Amino acid sequence: MSASDFRIGPRNRQNPLLRFLRSFVGYKRHLTLTLMFLPVVVYFVTFKYVPMGGIIIAFKDYKIKQGILGSAWSQPLFANFIKAFNTPTFARSVTNTLAISGLKLLFGFPAPIILALMLNEVVHERFKKAIQTITYLPHFLSWVVLAGMFQQLLSPNNGAVNAVLQRVFRMKDSIYFLGDNRYFRGTLIVTDIWKNVGWSSILYLATIAGIDPMLYEAATVDGATRLQCTRHITLPSLAPTIVVMLILSVGSIMDAGFDQVFNLYNTAVYQTGDIIDTYVYRYGLGDMKYSLATAVGLFKNVIAFVLVVVTNMIAKRISGSGIW
């Protein structure tokens, strides 16, 4: 290797070996920071990458006594996938997952952005902090706790929500929010937004805080209104963050929220509330069909990966921003 190979230039920037050597030198130079980061690497390798070896269960006739390696390969190799796809409730679970995730993306994704923009316009500091605290708190409550709360609040017999609706709107019949297929999905969307909107707005508020105040001052001098400042300064500054979060959200579209659905749904709303994760739970842990459940989980993750890649490509072509 000649000395010219290490010259800085467009050709050498594409050299994988040179990039590796430079990154290695950088890690060695900042050894303290590298050692601080080491526990994070160990965590992800141990709990994220090593368990991926269990994927081969999807291609085996898995028996607990024989173990993963001792179990025989399924014949044909994709037999578990074929069996899962032919299950009567599989198509319903996929449809419900896409419907619930799509509605959460449609209504839940813009909600923290709108909240961040509204909080940014609040002048009174104490009032602003109070609103932030109130909207952040639900995030720290588990869905187990919230499910109990919502079951009481939304009860058709003595729930506070039905009592208010009957008094204000003079409704005669109670609404079965958690027991009627017509209202269950809407209940999931509203409760999910209520729980996560405050916490999700933190990232957008941090981005807004990093905008140069001189831009607003210059716009005000030129006669721009608050709405015009938001439209021409705040939103364009938020655009890269919004694009990244949108890509991640689309990648999670096959995950409709197991904790929420599992704690709120029941047999009466299986038609609109049964998602892939609850399907896997029933077949995997309930019926002990581990191979079939693993096959469905692998199918779900492959689709999510493809969605992330495709969305990232589209976002880079449209806005020039992406994850990589």
Contact call for residues 298 and 58 (beta carbons, < 8 A): yes
For the chain, give every domain's residue range: 3-50, 89-319
DSSP state of 141: S
Give the separation between CA 28 and CA 35, rounded to whole angstroms.
Answer: 10
pLDDT, residue 20, reads: 63
Q: ∠ CA(307), CA(308), CA(314), 5° rounding?
A: 85
Instruction: Provide the whole-model pTM.
Output: 0.82
Pairing of strands 60-63, 71-73: antiparallel
What DSSP state is assigned to residue 283?
I
pLDDT by residue, tens only, the chain of 324 residues: 444 444 444 444 556 666 766 776 777 777 888 888 889 989 999 998 998 888 899 999 888 888 888 888 988 889 999 998 888 889 999 999 999 999 999 999 999 999 999 999 888 889 999 999 999 999 999 999 999 999 999 999 888 999 998 888 888 888 999 999 999 999 999 999 999 999 999 999 999 999 999 999 999 998 988 889 999 999 999 998 998 899 888 888 888 889 999 999 988 999 999 999 999 998 888 888 899 889 998 998 898 888 888 888 888 887 776 777
Residue with tokens 């303290």: 32
C-alpha dihedral (166, 172, 173, 178), degrees to nearest 10: -10
* Residues ≥6 apart with Cβ < 8 Å to 308: 247, 248, 250, 251, 323
| 31: number of Cβ within 10 Å | 9
CA atoms within 13 A on the CB side of 190: 9
Q: Does domain 89-319 have CATH number 1.10.3720.10?
A: yes
* Distance in angstroms (rounded) separating the CA atoms of residues 122 and 76: 63
Rounded CA separation 273/34 (Å): 45
Query: Which alpha helices (H) appear in the chain, and where do they start and end?
Result: 10-13, 16-29, 31-44, 67-70, 79-85, 90-103, 110-120, 125-136, 143-153, 160-168, 181-209, 213-221, 226-229, 235-251, 258-264, 270-273, 276-281, 290-319
3-state secondary structure (DSSP) of residue 73: strand
Sign of CA dihedral 202, 205, 207, 209: negative
Which pLDDT score is estimated for 108?
Answer: 94
